[in-house]
Amino acid sequence: MSERNPAQGTPEKVTGSGSAPDTAAPAPDTTPPAAGAPGGVRATESGARAGAPDAVTPDTGPSGTPGDTGTDAAPAGASGPPETEATGPRPSVGGANDGTPPDAAAADLGSRPLPDGPDLGWVNPLRDPQDRRLPKIAGPSGLVIFGVTGDLSRKKLMPAVYDLANRGLLPPGFSLVGFARRDWEDEDFAQIVHDSVRDHARTEFREEVWQQLAEGMRFIPGDFDDDQAFEQLRAAVHELDKSRGTSGNYAFYLSVPPKFFPKVVRQLRKHGLAEAPAGSWRRAVIEKPFGRDLRSARELNRVVHEVFDPEQVFRIDHYLGKETVQNILALRFANQMYEPVWNRSYVDHVQITMAEDIGIGGRAGYYDGIGSARDVIQNHLLQLMALTAMEEPIAFDADSLLAEKLKVLKSVKLPRDLGEHTVRGQYAEGWQGGEKVRGYLEEDGIDPGSTTDTYAAVRLEMDSRRWAGVPFYLRTGKRLGRRVTEIAVVFQRAPHSPFDSTATEELGANAIVIRVQPDEGMTVRFGSKVPGTSMEIRDVSMDFAYGESFTESSPEAYERLILDVLLGDANLFPRHQEVEESWKILDPIEEYWDTHGRPAQYASGTWGPGEADEMLARDGRSWRRP
């Protein structure tokens, strides 16, 4: 049980051995009461009363050994352990509300043996999964990054690890192991991470956080078929278990091209790294693309699942780690005002756009032959569509979310005429950002005869009661007008208007626009009367912005996703069933494009080829200008 210390305002643990009371006469306690202590209760219990157990200070156990600290201690201002079925009502000690004199209550407490603290049945409320006073913090663990010298690792992964440590969300002994084809020592690797953190971290650099993180960094040089390198990796993992207390818990992040996935996972199995010790876990993290078609995706899943169970595999789609994407579920299912109109009776169509204002940069080797549809539509945009269209899950857990998203993906209906309702394009030279830029076919490392798409737009429908007849338009491209990702739910116009046409000629369709990036938030567009003597109605917007509504800035997507991997929370990770269903949607479109002409050209800095505008015009609609 706990006894309130009035002077400190925090509970102190009192333990007893359960033995018979001491018959020796104790010396009288002459310690004066603490200032403000009620009822003469002394700030320090000496255990001088007959049979009273020895007092235990808050930072020591029953034998003077270090006791529970941190989250195991009750929060300041708490009134001691909660009443539970195991403990029953708490005894009133010192200043109880039942009228018992404090000294008498304490004497009564000391007249009977007390159980030891661990046997009280008290559960720390801060460890309750439903408690929101503390954030979720990863337990003892480490992260191994393959391909640690790549851009993704330097610009996203390593800064995200530091930001998590800086926010206190990683354990003190967290370890980071890099694996790459560089002749580096541990110190060289630490310096690379240091420079990456300085250049790209979201949070302020703090030397004490860096020093603690750097102590757990190791680097393993070698190729993916180098058995000796993987033996060194296994030795490093065992050494970190002992020196850093990682408890055998490791996530293996494959930040490498997909063609190396099978080789890396098989090496992990061969050298005993994929199998976790008893009571520990091992997980594999895989970056997109998950194959380049349905056949290759199934083969990749088969190889990976030979080594890791499906629940051990975390497929990264960094868009699902963005706050605004997660807010789609909150917007729809935590509010009553949206769901009644979120269906075919009120929605005219949905547009999902991911536009980039840059070219392929130095990614020619990866991008050529993949294209924008495989790179973006197959994963990012179809996931956004699934979250927008799904039914309410029975719970916010991985299995429930998977069930509802799969229903959406399986209900997707491709257009009968793929030539009319799909468009692909390539950016040509033009002006962007005030400078002349090259076209795709003039980029370094690109075959002048390449038919790889840098722009793709498709029209999809769903065979479901909620969305029957509502088209979903998905588009993505490089070298477009600006960098933006948004979901626009465009509503039908009012079936009847009492206003004449001149009053509403500037009135568009109502819309809810979810801004995923860069200005995270939401816009609701509706019509309002223009001030004046005449009736004129014009579109206005009502905005919600994360940066203005919340004091805490949104974490980077990779921060959230890496933490979820270490916690084993799979809510934001596509499962292999979703990956395969997505390829079933895209494969027929890619096969059609392979046999029908070349991509349409569009000038850099514009919003895509004219054929995409014509695609919507045939439906009596037009693209939104983000």
> What DSSP assignment string belongs to 406-447?
HHHHHHEE--S-HHHHEEEEEEESEEETTEEE--GGGSTT--
Report, as residue numbers or ranges, the catalytic residues: 380
> pLDDT tens digits, residue range 502-522?
666 677 788 999 998 888 889
> pLDDT tens digits, residue range 322-371?
888 888 988 999 999 998 999 999 999 999 999 999 998 777 777 888 89
What is the average pLDDT across 552-561?
84
- Residue of 530 and 294 predicted with greater confidence: 294
> pLDDT tens digits, residue range 126-161?
666 666 666 778 889 999 999 888 888 888 999 999
Q: Is 480 left (phi over 0), alpha (psi -120 to 50) or beta?
A: beta
Q: Which of 83-97, 263-277, 593-607 has the lowest mean pLDDT?
A: 83-97
Q: Which CATH code fits 142-287?
A: 3.40.50.720
Structure tokens at 16: 């007893």
Spatial strand order in the sheet of 250-254: 217-221, 175-180, 142-146, 250-254, 282-287, 313-316
Angle at 154 between CA 552 and CA 570, to 5 degrees: 60
Q: Are 47 and 62 in contact (CB under 8 A)?
A: no
Integer-rounded Cα Rg, in Å, for the chain is 31
Query: What is the distance between the alpha carbons of residues 498 and 538, in angstroms, rounded to a whole number?
Result: 15
Query: What is the distance between the alpha carbons of residues 15 and 11, in angstroms, rounded to a whole number?
Result: 13
Query: What is the distance between the alpha carbons of residues 566 and 282, in angstroms, rounded to a whole number?
Result: 10
Is 58 exposed, middle or buried (CB count within 10 Å of its CB: 0-12, 13-18, 19+)? Answer: middle
pLDDT value, residue 426: 95
What is the average pLDDT across 539-554?
82
pLDDT value, residue 193: 85
Tell me how far CA of residue 253 lies from CA of 44, 145, 265, in angstroms: 53, 5, 11
Q: Are 94 and 102 in contact (CB under 8 A)?
A: yes
pLDDT band at 8 (very low <50, low <70, confident <90, very high): very low
pLDDT value, residue 483: 93
Query: What is the distance between the alpha carbons of residues 266 and 225, in angstroms, rounded to a whole number?
Result: 10
| Residues across the chain | 626
pLDDT band at 64 (very low <50, low <70, confident <90, very high): very low
Q: Which of 134-143, 181-190, 466-475 has the lowest mean pLDDT?
A: 181-190
Which sequence spans correspond to the domains of the chain?
Answer: 1-128, 142-287, 321-492+576-617
Parallel, antiparallel, or unpaired for β 217-221 and 175-180? parallel
What's phi and psi for 302, nearest 5 deg?
A: -65, -45
- Residue of 592 and 120 predicted with greater confidence: 592
> pLDDT tens digits, residue range 285-329?
998 878 889 999 999 999 999 999 999 999 988 888 888 888 898
pLDDT > 70 in the chain, percent: 78
pLDDT band at 118 (very low <50, low <70, confident <90, very high): low
In terms of CATH architecture, what is 321-492+576-617? 2-Layer Sandwich (3.30)
Residue 71, helix vs strand vs coil: helix
Q: Which of 50-59, 215-224, 488-497, 570-579 has the lowest mean pLDDT?
A: 50-59
| Residue 91 clears pLDDT 50, i.e. is over it | no
pLDDT value, residue 26: 47
What is the average pLDDT across 180-196?
83
